Amino acid sequence: QRFYDARNYNYNFDDFGDIDRNVSQNITATWCTVSKAEQAKCMAFSQAVDREKTFFGYDYVHLECKQAFNKEECMNLLDLEKAHLVTLDAGEVFVAGRYHSLLPILQEVHENNTIHEYAVAVIKKGSLQDVQSLHDLRGKKACFAGVGLLAGWVTPIYVLMKHGGLEIIDCNNHVKSTINFFGPSCAVNSLIDRYNPLGDNSDQLC
């Protein structure tokens, strides 16, 4: 995987005046993680950067890793300036900008310059034999990775609205529309304040 600067994000080094680029800035950045695996990966990255400290010179930044409970807590930590960086799903980037005034500075690009991702639906082999089209999913049980995630919510709900007969019950709350379409299901965060602003979502997606 490679990382590129996001478009329209430029550093203006003129603001720093005369600097000695061979001297470290003595700056620490904190990366917020949400799992043991991500924390371990962050710490390995930090150690790798420290090993090359002399190579970076003035551009060297010490990296610390702080594990939070979830991405929402990470975004709150960034708000409070107790963390500086976090990796987000494309759908979470919208939440970060809309509710936390955060900005993307890097984009992850996979092999062959692939920048898109797939939303994949899976079923148990041999089940749902009565389903021949998206419309036939009405009343079925579904499990979503999380409300607001691009591949795990935004894309499938959009496709069902456009091609599967999922009616819009509340244009400001697609959780209600999804509850009306599916049977008892699961969607992480369907009852948190952001996606349940009036507190009247049913527990059908829990």
pLDDT in tens, 35-56: 999 999 999 999 999 999 988 8
**Is 187 a residue whose pLDDT tops 60?**
yes
Average pLDDT over residues 182-192: 92
Angle CA 39–45–50, to nearest 5: 125
**Is 135 a residue whose pLDDT tops 90?**
yes
CATH number of 177's domain = 3.40.190.10
Q: How far is CA 2 from CA 50, 106, 110, 111, in A?
A: 20, 10, 7, 8
Q: Do 84 and 142 belong to one domain?
A: no
User: In sequence order, which ranges of the chain are alpha helices (DSSP H)?
Assistant: 36-51, 53-56, 71-79, 90-100, 155-163, 174-181
Q: Do 6 and 88 belong to one domain?
A: yes
**Residue 116 in contact with residue 150, Cβ under 8 Å?**
no
Give me the sign of the Cα torsion angle 114, 119, 124, 130.
negative
Residue 32 sits at φ, ψ, to 5 deg, of: -90, 130
Q: What is the DSSP letter of 102?
A: -
Q: How many domains does the chain have?
A: 2
- Rounded to whole angstroms, the Cα distance separating 136 from 142 reads 13
Domain final residue, candidates 113, 146, 168: 113
Neighbours of 165 (CB within 10 A): 14
What is the share, in percent, of the chain residues with pLDDT greater than 70?
88
The whole-number pLDDT of residue 21 equals 55
**Residue 125 in contact with residue 27, Cβ under 8 Å?**
no
Which element (helix H / strand E) includes 106?
strand 106-109
Domain of 173, in residue numbers: 134-205
**Is 10 a residue whose pLDDT tops 60?**
no
- Rounded to whole angstroms, the Cα distance separating 137 from 149 reads 20
